[in-house]
Amino acid sequence: MIELDLQIASSASQLPSHADFLAWCGLALRQRTSPSELTIRLVDNEEGLELNSTWRGKNYPTNVLSFPADIPDGLLDIPLLGDLVICVPVVEAEAREQHKALTAHWAHLVIHGCLHLLGYDHIDDEEAEEMEALERQLLAEIGHPDPYLDNQYTDLIPS
């Protein structure tokens, strides 16, 4: 079971549905046998920039930030995984620039962020290969192609 708190702090009018986000999270988190709680906050560039600057020292908004819950055992009796912050304008711009279907890019970034909450990372090559292989597998299960291939959706993107 997944409890998702979806916070919309973006002015974007076309966003995936709560059900879409829940399905993508469920796919990424299905390896967990216990319930999971997480928040996904959708933001615009200003908040994305502020958070990326504060937490990563990077002076630009990024697509997804993952904040795993770091709660000592026994302190809270809730299955809190953490928070994802997704910068909507960055997601939309990346999909256009990389010639990817927007829905597929959303799915990829939610799955990617959820895997970070589970402890996956891509700091070194071996970790990156493991994480990317799992992302490819999960996305293929829902009919989306490899997110790391270039120009795979060119005919699907309106100009």
Given a cut of 60, is residue 156 above it in pLDDT? no
Of 58 and 154, the one with more pLDDT: 58
Average pLDDT, rounded, for the chain: 89
Task: Indicate the CATH number of 2-156 among 3.40.50.10860, 3.40.390.30, 3.30.70.20, 3.40.50.12160.
Answer: 3.40.390.30
The 3-state DSSP class for residue 20 equals helix
Mean pLDDT of all residues in 109-130: 90
> pLDDT tier at 99 (50, 70, 90 boundaries)?
very high
Say which residues have a Cβ less than 8 Å from residue 154's Cβ, sequence separation at least 6. 99
Determine the Cα–Cα distance for residues 130 and 43; give it in Å rounded to an integer. Answer: 29
Q: Which two tokens stand for residue 106?
A: 């959303």
Given a cut of 60, is residue 157 above it in pLDDT? no
Determine the Cα–Cα distance for residues 18 and 97; give it in Å rounded to an integer. Answer: 26
The domain segmentation of the chain, as residue ranges, is: 2-156
Q: What's the confidence (pLDDT) of residue 23? A: 97
Given a cut of 70, is residue 78 above it in pLDDT? no
Interior CA angle at 128 toward 102 and 43, to 5°? 40
The 3-state DSSP class for residue 82 equals strand
Region of 125 please: left (phi>0), alpha (psi -120 to 50) or beta.
alpha
Interior CA angle at 28 toward 39 and 63, to 5°? 60
Given a cut of 80, is residue 1 above it in pLDDT? yes
> Residue 146 carries which DSSP code?
P
Q: What's the confidence (pLDDT) of residue 31? A: 86
